[in-house]
Chain A
Amino acid sequence: MRFLRAFLSRPVALTGLVLFAAIVAVALAAPLLFARGPFAIVGMPLLPPGAPGLLAGSDVLGRDMAVGLAYGARISLLVGIASTLGAVGIGVLLGAVAGYYGGLVDDLLMRVTEFFQIIPSFVLLMVLVAFLQPSLASTVIGIALISWPQVARVVRGEFLALRAREFVQAAKTLGLSDARIIFAEILPNALPPILVVSSMMVGSAILTESALSFLGLGDPNLLSWGSMIGGSRSAMWVAWWTTVLPGLCIMVTVLALAFIGDGLNDALNPRGRR
């Protein structure tokens, strides 16, 4: 409760939460509001925002930009949240085991994370998605697979630092099981950095998805903010709204998540507030 009050008392965090809730609402309501779907052609191409019936104008093919933007929110949120859950799951488990036990387990896991770290992850992602055939599933799996080492490193570092602390030694002396020490004693103390990394990761997964679909490597059957920008590159000079509006949507969404992450950081870490 004190944490919740601390979180909500910060205007930045509150702003982030309200923005994020609004985006979630639009994403959920999109099929109800615009039953025709984002691919329906509604008029002449490249009509400016404010043209009759077109709040955000039309794109290069004469599709309603507003509908595209609403449907795009669904893709961004889905990919961002699903791939982060995957990455945090793998990263926390492997990082905790490596940091707590050290030795051979640590060595092995660190070699694996190092492999992921020295290979350019976005290029690896492009290859994975291109070869698995671009789809929503391959995008989520790909992003989770390239993101987890980041979580693992942070978790391992925290565990490495915390395992030598008195409360862990006390828990060991009391005869608690390793699993209990890892998940009930150390993990709660390592949570603040994990939460901050996760909240940043949802945002960066959304950015990564937009980059993939911008390059034409997203699901071809779905309209996402990135593919809207990629598809209007040639129209950018004459119809600014075709590239500016989807980009703003991405930015506001990632910004809302960053605000939430920042609020979490400060609420969870009273030392940083003062």
Chain B
Amino acid sequence: MNRLHYIAMRLVKTALVTIAVVVLSFFLIRLAPGDAATVMAGQSGYADEAFVKSLRAEYGLDRPLPVQLWKYLGAVAQGDLGTSYARRMPVLEVILQRLPNTLLLDAFALVVAIAGGVWLGGLAARRPGSAGDAAVTVLSMLFYAVPQFWLGMMAVLLFAVWLAWLPPFGIETMGADYTGLARVADVASHMILPGMTLALYYLAGYARLTRTAMIEVAGQDFVKTARAKGIREGQVRRRHILRNALIPLITYAGLQASTLVGGSVLVENVFSWPGIGTLAYEAVTARDNPLLLGIFIVTAILISLFNLVTDIAYSLADPRVELA
């Protein structure tokens, strides 16, 4: 199939899956006992019956569930994700305010994780069983085994409190009002601790996978053939072994997209990073259903698009795989 045609088909599919996500999470959220009107009334201080009723009417919670769903779907189709209960602001606006911060953090973490993981894994696979291999393996296991939130707290203790090299929390220095390059440097210094905290876990995964896949591929006949033909070792490793070993790595990257968002919840929480992760946590604890639904929808679309990219990368890395 033609690649453009394939992408168009996938985009249609993404739209369909998004609708499924909207419908399913809509019902999932309504499964909870009680409704948001009681929560809001509780927060506002007086839970008078008439007030709760007026809140239900204001947010359309008094209408039958299918009607609510239909109205919600219609609104979402027009880009209206409703109003956040807790913030009294359009959900889309709240999300778009926070989204760039999370994308910045996640992109940084992903690049560090892939580059570092493939490098370390390749190093370990060169001589399986050697001291270097053991060191990389143990190191990658250590990063994998550390709870992310705890690693973040330890990083704060070490680098922000004891050594005082880096700021402990936030995305920029409060009240400093830097502009231009000074601001970029300020945000970058705030990003290092949460970004590395997030990256190390995935780096461990990429290192383990690269090592396993490269050792596996290195034992296959076509590698022996390549060596027998007299191709230089570096070429064999890059063009023959690494390229074939990349395939499980790409699958892994696609699989990890949604856990990256989950990791952001914890890391952003520890570092008070104003992103989607902290927003999701606030939405869960405040029972802010429209905001939660909005977060599901926006992240689902982003993860779908990321999966589309990994699928295309898959077909580029392995021409035997047909896009279908």
Which A residues are within 8 Å of any B CB, using their own CB?
12, 111, 114-115, 117-128, 130-131, 150, 153, 157, 200, 203, 207, 210-211, 214-215, 217, 226, 229, 233, 236-237, 240, 243-244, 246-247, 250-252, 254-255, 258-259, 262, 265, 269, 271-274
B145 interfacial contact with A, CB 8 Å: yes
Interface bracket on B: 35 or more
Please, which residue of chain B has its CB at the minimum distance from the CB of A270? B219
Q: Is B215 an interface residue (CB 8 A)?
A: yes
The 5 closest A-B pairs by CB, nearest first: A122-B262, A120-B261, A247-B150, A254-B145, A131-B32
Q: Are A118 and B128 in contact (CB under 8 A)?
A: no
Cβ contact within 8 Å between A118 and B258? yes
- Among the listed B134, B144, B150, which residue makes an inter-chain contact with A258, where contact means beta carbons less than 8 Å apart? B144
Residue of B nearest to A265 (CB): B212
Q: How far is the CA of A118 from the CA of B306 in the complex (A)?
A: 9
15 A-B residue pairings within 8 Å (CB atoms): A12-B137, A114-B307, A117-B303, A119-B296, A120-B261, A123-B296, A126-B280, A130-B285, A131-B29, A211-B147, A214-B147, A214-B266, A215-B266, A217-B284, A254-B145
Q: Which residues of B contact A240 (CB under 8 A)?
A: 157
Q: State whether B263 touches A255 (Cβ < 8 A).
A: no
- B304 part of interface (Cβ distance < 8 Å): yes
Which residues does chain B contribute within 8 Å of A119, judged by CB atoms?
21, 25, 258, 296, 299-300, 303
- Asked if B292 CB lies within 8 Å of chain A CBs, one says yes
B255: contacting residue among A117, A233, A237, CB under 8 A: A117
Closest Cβ of chain B: how far from A94's Cβ, in Å? 16
- Determine whether the beta carbon of A243 is less than 8 Å from that of B153: yes
Rounded to whole Å, the gap between the CB of B110 and the closest CB of chain A is: 15
B103 within 8 A of A: no
A117 and B307 contact, Cβ closer than 8 Å, known pairs A126-B281, A207-B147, A258-B141: yes
| Interchain nearest-CB distance for A234 vs B (Å) | 12
Say what secondary structure dominates the interface of chain B.
helix
Q: Name the residue of chain A whose CB is nearest to the CB of B201.
A: A207
Tell whether B171 is near chain A: CB-to-CB under 8 Å.
no
Contact between A243 and B150, CB atoms less than 8 A apart: yes
Q: Please measure, in the bound complex, the distance between the C-alpha atom of A16 and the C-alpha atom of B50, giving whole angstroms.
A: 62
A120-B280 contact, Cβ under 8 Å, with A150-B255, A215-B266, A272-B128:
yes
CA distance A243 to B32 in the complex (A): 33
Task: Indicate which residue in A120, A229, A244, A265 contacts B303 across the interface (CB closer than 8 Å).
Answer: A120
- Of A127, A207, A262, which contacts B141 at CB under 8 A? A262
Cα A247 to Cα B154 in complex, Å, equals 9
Question: In the bound complex, do residue B296 and residue A274 qualify as a contact, i.e. CB atoms below 8 Å apart?
Answer: no
Q: Is the CB of A226 within 8 A of B147?
A: yes
A-chain residues with CB within 8 Å of residue B147 when the two chains form the complex: 207, 210-211, 214, 226, 229, 247, 250-251
Collect the chain A residues with CB atoms within 8 Å of residue B134's CB. Answer: 12
In the complex, residue of chain A having the shortest beta-carbon distance to the beta carbon of B254: A117
Bound complex: CA A262 to CA B139 (Å): 13
Q: Does B164 sit at the interface, judged by CB under 8 A?
A: no
Kindly state whether residue B269 has any CB partner on chain A within 8 Å.
Answer: yes
Partner of B266, one of A114, A211, A233, A247: A211
Instruction: Indicate if B318 sits at the interface (CB-CB under 8 A).
Output: no
- Distance between Cα atoms of A242 and B296 in the complex (Å): 35
- Flag if A123 contacts B161 (CB, 8 Å): no
CB–CB A120/B219 < 8 A = no
Chain B residues in 8 Å Cβ range of A130: 32, 284-285
Of the listed residues A117, A120, A210, A236, the one surrounded by the most CB atoms of chain B closer than 10 A to its CB is A120
In the complex, A127 Cα to B295 Cα: how many Å?
A: 12
Q: Which residues of B contact A258 (CB under 8 A)?
A: 141, 144-145
B residues in contact with A114, CB < 8 Å: 17, 307
Please tell me if B231 contacts chain A, counting CB pairs below 8 Å: no
Q: Which of A117, A123, A244, A262 has the most chain B CB atoms inside 10 A of its CB?
A: A123
B142: A residues at CB distance < 8 A: 251, 255
Return chain B residues, CB-CB under 8 Å to A217.
Answer: 284
CA distance A210 to B150 in the complex (A): 10
Query: How many angstroms between the C-alpha atoms of A251 and B292 in the bound complex?
Result: 31
Chain A contacts for B148, CB-based, 8 A = 207, 211
CB of B313 closer than 8 Å to a CB of A: no
Instruction: Kindly state whether residue B259 has any CB partner on chain A within 8 Å.
Output: yes
Which residue from A115, A229, A251 sits with its C-beta under 8 Å from B24?
Answer: A115
Inter-chain CA distance A153–B255, complex, in Å, is 9
Residues of B contacting A211 in the complex (Cβ-Cβ under 8 angstroms): 147-149, 266
Known contacts A120-B299, A122-B259, A127-B29; A115/B128 CB under 8 A: no
Pick from B31, B128, B216, B261: contact of A122, CB under 8 Å: B261
